Structure 1
Amino acid sequence: MSITSADICHAADQLNGFVGFNTKTGKHIVRFSEDSFGMDVAEESITPACEFVWREQDEQVMNLSRVRLQILLEQNVNDRLNVSEPLLAYMRRQELPEIAAQRRLKTVEETPAN
């Protein structure tokens, strides 16, 4: 079975959890509730994981960032994050350019509850 760019983008949209930047440690951390971050994570840095992996290229195009995906993979909670094979294949294929797609950022209110 071949994996398409659409499969990879769909897998990115299915990621669970929230990512926040911990100012004390200087690292991004993952939690599965917005309320579980603590005081060392600024509320404005908390982003759904399915949006964290996208980096704005310009006003209409976003890139699926391998650097941001790697941050999630380093958390070692792939099952809870819902990291699936299309994303793992994307990470293995470093020789290919990052996927660029026309999309808009989803707000927390638009993100389905976990």
Structure 2
Amino acid sequence: MKSRDTLARLRRFQVDETRRRVAQIEAMIAEFSKMARELEREIATEEQRAGISDLSHFAYPTYARAARARRDNLQRSAEELTTQLDEARLFLDEALAGSGKERILDGGGTTLLAG
């Protein structure tokens, strides 16, 4: 009985940890997207100020060029995080399925997930 309780606590911990990880990744993706949108506005403002929007122009604003590079890096990072998010969600589904098995083995009388 004690080992079953320990296993149940372990499953609960795995589920909670994975939920936190999913939430953390989602927050990071949202933050990166917000920062990329802000950079996009700054790029547009700088291009308007200079009157040059052609990247290949010799007088293209240095700040706009750097902001574009930063924006591109943020977008790439957000894409990589999306891959990690998919993996974390799969792991969460597996952890939840494992919790369901524990409930069945326990007779279904106790609820392992609180939240």
Question: Could you say which structure has the greater relative contact order, defined with CA pairs below 8 angstroms and 6 or more residues apart?
Answer: 2
Provide the TM-score with structure 1 as the length reference.
Answer: 0.27
Query: Highest Rg: 1 or 2?
Result: 2
Higher helix share: 2
Higher strand share: 1
